[in-house]
Every structure is written in C-alpha cells, then in structure tokens.
Structure 1
Amino acid sequence: MPSTPLTSVADLTAAVLRGDYGPDPESLHAVGAFWVRQSTQFPGTDTKYRNYYLVLRVESGFGGCCVERDQLDSVIAEELSGSSVAQLLRDERTPVRIAALDAYLSLTRPHREAEQAQVFMLPHGTPLQRAKARDQAIAGLLDIAPGMRVGLIGVVNPLVDAIRARGGICLPCDFNMQRTADGTEVARDMAPVLAQADLVIATGMTLSNGSFDEILAAVRLRDIPLIVYAQTGSAIVPQFLGHGVAAVSAEPFPFSQFSADPTPIHLYRDAGADARAAA
C-alpha cells in the first residue's frame, strides 16, 4: 500500500505501476475486452438512460467503465485484448486507463476480502424494483438530516426520490439530463453544486469523464462527506476511503441491470469518518 495519502486517480495509478498493490502490471494481461450498449426506460416515464461500457477482464478480475456515447469507438473491444495491464494503464484514453485500473484492483483487492465491505443483496425483481432497492441502500450509507443539501453528480431518478424521502434537498447535476422526473432543473456545471452542498453523492462515471479528482479536492477542502455509487471503478473508489471518500456503493461487473436474480453490491464506510462524527 502507498505510504502517502491518495489525492488523485493518477496517484493510485502510479502506486499500482510501482507494484504497491500487488503483482507487476507488466506481468498481467487483458485476456478479454467487451463493448456493451444498453438502454433503460421505466414504464410510465419518458426518461431513457443510455449506457455504453468498456469492460476488461484480467485473470479473474473484471473492470468496467461507463463512457459517453461518442467518447470511444466500439471497435476498441477488438483491439485491447492481449495488452499488458501496464500498457493499458499508460493509454492516452482515460476510460481505457480506468477500466484497466478497475480490473487490476478487482483482481488484487476483491470486495469479498475487504473487511470494510458489507454485502447487500439486491432482490429478485423488475429493473425498477432492483434500482429502488439499490438507491435506497446508497442513500442510507450516511445520515441525511432534514434540510441537508445533497449534491447529486450523475442523476438517477430513484436516488433523487430516496434523498427526498429522508428530508434532503437534492441539488442535481448531469450532462445528459435537463430535468428530473419531478421537473426539478438539472445543472450542467457542478461547481455551484459542490460549493453549496452539505454532502455529495457522485457516480463512478466521474472517473471516466475526469471530474472525480475535482470532486475529491472540493469535498476535502470543505470537509464534507462524499458518497460514490460505482459501477464504473467499483474497485477503484474504495481505495480512496479516508482520503476524501466517506462511503461507497460498489457494484462490480456483471451489473445489476443484466440480471433479475439476486446480485450483490458492496457497501463501504470510512470507519474514521464515523468516529470523527461521533466525537
């Protein structure tokens, strides 16, 4: 493990390349590369979620990165298999680096061996039932007091509902949505949200668009909690617990929307943050 605090994804990547987290990345290879296009629209709504994933397999580890529609060409899945993890961690394309880092850490730091992780099984059910169960678990990771302003970077409507059900005031921010299901305007610029929020909930996709480091720096400067719900980078974000991240809902590949059967998410809390809050 690195001896200095992590302040960015680049710090973590450099530590992995040094061998601080396990085997030399030069000795490991991406044996599989996948490109997934997926959309979701719940009955009775006019919101369609469109997701595009790059997934890499390194031995028994999988790494996933959700990207914007035109961020990568799907042919990338045909090109990356066979590359060493070290080569992928140095790739000029951010989503490739994130998927490779996630795959490496899912191999060397699996959730099943993490002492801080609590397994929560999403129930068998419809996509909406499973999404609501997931988002209730995420909203419950930290206490949301009535009137608390909760910045939501990456809007999922059931999570908006879960925040409001706890009395929180949701401050939504998203590149791809203008309004939430109940008509609340969604900001495109996250700077005002980060400046006003008492607590921030962000999606792992902030890793793929490069905004995670900015969010991390903002919450550390203001000393406010950051919760991350991560399909993208589910093995990456837990490494930042105690370094700006207070809690994580980590959902590794294969993701919950690809199954109706019970599937796990892994809930992490920074024990140090809980102790500081109680002091």
Structure 2
Amino acid sequence: MLSLRVEDAVGSCAVEPGELAEEVVLDCVGAPVRELLHHPSAAVRTAVLDAFLMWTGPHARRAEEVVIGRGNSLHKSVQRARAVVDLVPGKPERVLVVGVVNSLLQQLRERGCGYVPCDRKGGVTEWGEPIATDAHAALDGCDAVLASGMVVGNGTFQPLLEHARATGKPFVLFAQTASAVLPWFLGSGVTAVSAEPYPFFWLDGGPTAIYRYSVQGMFRT
C-alpha cells in the first residue's frame, strides 16, 4: 500500500509487492501536489489525488460515519463487512465480488445472495469455491457488483463503471484505495461507497471509522 500525505490528510493506493521502487516513493517526499498528479506511476497519481480530495473535503463533512469497534482483525473485519454489504440495495441473486474478502462473502451468504468471487490472484475461497480472475467476463452473469477500491489502482475500474452505466446494475465499492476519489462517481454509475481512510481497521485494535456514501444521500454540504 502506498500512502501519501497532503497537509493533515492521507491518501492511499494498493500496489503489488515490488511494484514500486524505493526511489519512486522517496521522490514523492516534499514534491508539490501539482507535479505528483502528473507522475508516471498510476499508484502515485491515485494516492496524491486521494489525499488532496480528503484534505479539501473530509469524509466526516459529507458521509455517514460508522464506527468499527475495538477488537482483533477478524472481529473488526466482520463488523466492517456488515456495514459494507448493507450498502448493496435489495437482494440480488448473484453479486460479482471483485477483490475477495471472506468476511464480505460470509455476509452475502447469510443474506441468501449468490456471488461470483473474483480476484487477479485466483485460488479458492474459505469454502473451497473457485475464484475467477477475469471480472469483465463474469459481469453478464451477475446483477450487482461489489468491488474493492483496488480496481482504481490496477486499471479495471473504468470497464466496471461503464458496465454499470450501461445496464443500471448496482455498483458498490469498499475503498481503502481512492476512498476520497470514488464518492465523486455517485449517481454516475456508482451506487454507494464505503470509504475507509488511513489508518485502516487492521492497523489499529481500537475503534476506527468508515464513511458510507449512497446515491440516496449523495454529498452533504
């Protein structure tokens, strides 16, 4: 995870191990925002835009704050999963879950929703289900999309957004990456966002917060 700070705000973008050289990170230190927004690395551009938007418009001014209570990582992950899945409207028959998190899958299972787990790494879920690696190929067989903010960093956000716009399917994001960027797409393909700024729930055993946006609430002023 690459995290950059603008004033008192921190923006983030998930990266794969070894994706960013140490020199790239060091070059960001003290660099002006206007320069980093044109950086050759998409991860740097995403993280600095995320930080800038968080600084100019903090989540607390515009969204519903949900406190994730203290506990170990598993306990907090389950709490977060409930709050995230609550943003999926209705009871879709099959949800494409891009970025596999077992606690999210468990919440869908408990609600009687089918799902297609998808992650570039492949593998199997906790229940032995095969994990698809091509989200685009699975879109037509699903009637809702629940995706990680990591889709911004790896370049797969745009096809998902275009599909949601074309079909009207619910498109919900749970975002550590680009948590302050994705709410700007509400009502333009994105149905809801669970925004989780740094520090993330797994970094702190005490209470942490996520911020929920939906097309019903849009942006608060």
Q: Shift of the alpha carbon at 1:194?
A: 1.4
Using the aligned pairs only, state the percent identity. 38
CA RMSD of aligned residues (A): 1.4
Between the aligned partners of 2:93 and 2:14, the Cα distance in structure 1 is: 29
* Counterpart secondary structure, 2:213: strand
| Corresponding residue for residue 62 of structure 1 | 10
Residue type matched to 2:142 in 1?
Answer: A
Matched, 1:92 2:40: yes
* Counterpart secondary structure, 2:14: strand
Q: Deviations over 1:109-158 (max 9, x none)?
A: 110111xx11100011110000000011101112342x611000110011
* Counterpart secondary structure, 2:52: helix
Spell out structure 1 runs of 4+ moving beyond 2 A: 74-77
Contact 2:197 2:210 in 1 (8 A): yes
Contact 1:179 1:185 in 2 (8 A): yes
Between the aligned partners of 1:168 and 1:192, the Cα distance in structure 2 is: 20
Residue type matched to 2:4 in 1?
Answer: L
Contact 1:144 1:166 in 2 (8 A): no
Within the candidate set 243, 263, 266, 2:211 is matched to 266
Aligned runs of 1:125-274 on 2, under 5 Å?
125-145=71-91, 148-271=93-216
Within the candidate set 50, 64, 67, 1:121 is matched to 67
Q: Shift of the alpha carbon at 1:176?
A: 1.6
Structure 1: gaps (5+ residues): 1-52, 274-279
Contact 1:155 1:173 in 2 (8 A): yes
Aligned residues: 218
* Counterpart secondary structure, 1:67: coil
Between the aligned partners of 2:217 and 2:56, the Cα distance in structure 1 is: 24
Contact 2:89 2:170 in 1 (8 A): no
Between the aligned partners of 1:246 and 1:272, the Cα distance in structure 2 is: 10
Residue type matched to 1:104 in 2?
Answer: F
* Counterpart secondary structure, 1:155: coil
Aligned runs of 1:46-57 on 2, under 5 Å?
53-57=1-5
TM-score by length of 1: 0.76
Between the aligned partners of 1:93 and 1:78, the Cα distance in structure 2 is: 13
Residue type matched to 2:84 in 1?
Answer: I
Q: Shift of the alpha carbon at 1:60?
A: 1.4
Between the aligned partners of 1:137 and 1:74, the Cα distance in structure 2 is: 36
Contact 1:95 1:208 in 2 (8 A): yes
| Corresponding residue for residue 11 of structure 1 | none
Aligned runs of 1:17-36 on 2, under 5 Å?
none
Q: Shift of the alpha carbon at 1:272?
A: 7.6
Structure 2: gaps (5+ residues): none
TM-score by length of 2: 0.95
* Counterpart secondary structure, 2:22: coil
| Corresponding residue for residue 39 of structure 1 | none
Matched, 1:110 2:55: no
* Counterpart secondary structure, 2:159: helix
Going from structure 1 to structure 2, the CA distance change for 1:260 and 1:105 (only over 3 Å counts) comes to same
